[in-house]
A and B are shown apart, each in its own frame.
Chain A
Amino acid sequence: MHPSVAPAPPPTVAPDPSAVEVVDLHRRYGDFEAVRGVSFEVRPGEVFALLGVNGAGKTSALEVLEGLAPASGGSVQVLGADPRRERAAVRPHLGVLLQTSGLPGDLTVAETVRTWAGTLTTPRPVDEALAQVDLTGRADVRVRSLSGGERRRLDLALALLGRPRVLVLDEPTTGLDPESRRTVWRLVRGLVDDGAAVVLTTHHLEEAEELADRIAVMRAGRVVLAGTREEIAETQPATVRFTLDDGVPQLPVPAGVEVVSAGPRVEWHTRALQPVLAELLTWAAANGVVLRGLQARAASLEQAFLAVADAE
């Protein structure tokens, strides 16, 4: 070390805390542009979900994050490094679960985990890895003989084996039974509580609602909707439904209501659910009207997703 004659450096600015930073990512195959300018950021202790129908570009975007493919444009940083060019630096901290990947069928579950552990910097003990995904009882079974769900859990065990700080999960629970799915969710939550950053893709809205702190909905290579699940749901109007009996007085339509169906089975859409309901209930009470089957429902993530994900 050479002696420093320069004045002491200014107090360290807090380093950029994002674990994953994607800026204007593009990915092109020949003439087809699968990812067309996607940006997002994931912090430690956060789960970020990419939602979208098949072909929306989710996997293509993740492959750049995983360091398996180059970006055609834009930049991707994982823990401050380029996951492709600085792969050797990133990989010890990155856990990857591909949408589909193979394993030699003639190794046992324990042999498979042991082999993978032998290639890692800070592997978990094999027993712990198997217990994590409830495969302890299947340790000596050949991979060929596992069920689809067991295979997927083994995949996950391998992805978690190196104690990653960043976890990329491409459709982690597709094909899993509900119980295995809950196991996966519990694992992911545990990792996030320990400070890991998780990026996952899913078709299952339930999964995004259950796990994700923030969600981005992709369509045709672009993010068309992003935010917390509440923010996304709020992009769609709430729904009010009820049925009117014959002979009731004329129903006034409150301001801010879009009438989907006028009656006798009434359906309204509104972005001002509370005042509209108040006005409706006041009118009903004043006129002695019974609103049969009254339902008032804020928009769901599903509604918002369906509104944008499939639109042309």
Chain B
Amino acid sequence: MTTLAAPAGPSRLRRVGALAAAETRLLLRNRTAVVNSVLMPLLLVALVPGMGLDDRTTGPGLLTAAAGFTLVFLTYYNLVTTYVARREDLVLQRMRTGELSDGEVLLATAVPTLLVTVGQLVLVAVGVVVLDLWTAPVDAVLPVLAVLLGAALMVVLATASTVFTRTPESAQITTLPVVLGTTALSGLFFPLSVLPEELATVARLLPLTPVIELVQLGLAGRTWDGEVVAGAELWWAALVPLGTLLAWTVLAGLATARWFRWAPRR
């Protein structure tokens, strides 16, 4: 039996906010991190129109590319590095001695990166409007949902990736499967419909592909194999990528719960 009084503590939001504010301040004080977080993905995105691939220079194409690259190169890569650095600096272990729950510690640590992610995409969207490439999306909910779920997936993929990442430097290697593998076969560089059917199916089951599919569906109403759909058909076509996205999130979440280490190996 517990004899503990339970005084009302700060709300979850307030305590995550307290740590997230400190993390954001830290990010802003680290010039290298600011440059890496903001400039690098912008450059990458800026390079995309120059690649001259089918309709990459149109608004939806640019936004789709921005979502894919930002989620992988910024959200995922940054978070792996951040979590590993915090673990190796013994900061995570310390945060665990307070009142924050494990999930709250991980979430608060991710907040600055997530804010930058959103900022980037807004910036690209503004750029698209300014360049007069904007076309009204076929469905506005899907792309937003895709980015939100995609960001959530990147957080848990990052926490899961820390399991086999010993130092922030080695993240350059350990993130390659996600950074290269999933990006290459996500439909960002070439439509998956050019692949043999079996390979296309495998590619569609990779973690980033459903995000790209959903953004494309919402913005342009185009499915992965180039068919143009609308209305109920659109959401019907969204079911497989949504399911894939959720499955990856659950999988990476379970791997995190099972194997995540809060302190360096001794």
Contacts and interface: CB of A to CB of B under 8 A. Distances in A.
Main secondary structure of the interface of B (DSSP, over half): loop
A96 B98 CA distance: 8
A70 interface: no
Contact of B10 (A15, A81, A91, A121): A121
Contact of B25 (A86, A88, A89, A111): A111
B3 A121 contact: no
Given A68-B96, A80-B3, A91-B99, A103 B15 contact: no
A120 B104 CA distance: 13
Contacts of B21: 115, 118
A119 interface: yes
A100 B29 CA distance: 25
Interface in B1-43: 1-4, 6-10, 14-15, 17-19, 21-22, 25-26, 29-30
Given A68-B97, A92-B9, A121-B99, A101 B90 contact: yes
Most buried by B among A79, A81, A104, A112: A104
B247 interface: no
A162 B99 contact: yes
B200 interface: no
Contacts of A68: 93, 96-97, 262
Nearest to B7: A121
A80 B26 contact: no
Nearest to B30: A106
Interface in A61-90: 66, 68, 79-81, 86-90
A15 B4 CA distance: 12
Given A98-B97, A116-B98, A103 B91 contact: yes
Most buried by A among B10, B17, B30: B10
B54 interface: no
A214 interface: no
Contacts of A159: 97
A119 B4 contact: no
A101 B15 contact: no
A88 B101 contact: yes
Contact of B7 (A98, A106, A118, A122): A122
A93 B99 CA distance: 9
B225 interface: no
Contacts of A118: 10, 14-15, 17-19, 21
Contacts of A96: 97
A106 B93 contact: no
Contact of B98 (A79, A107, A119, A122): A119
A9 interface: no
Interface of A: 15, 66, 68, 79-81, 86-93, 96, 98, 100-104, 106-107, 111-112, 114-122, 158-159, 162
What are the nearest 10 A-B pairs in CB distance? A118-B18, A102-B90, A121-B9, A101-B94, A96-B97, A102-B89, A115-B22, A119-B15, A102-B91, A80-B3
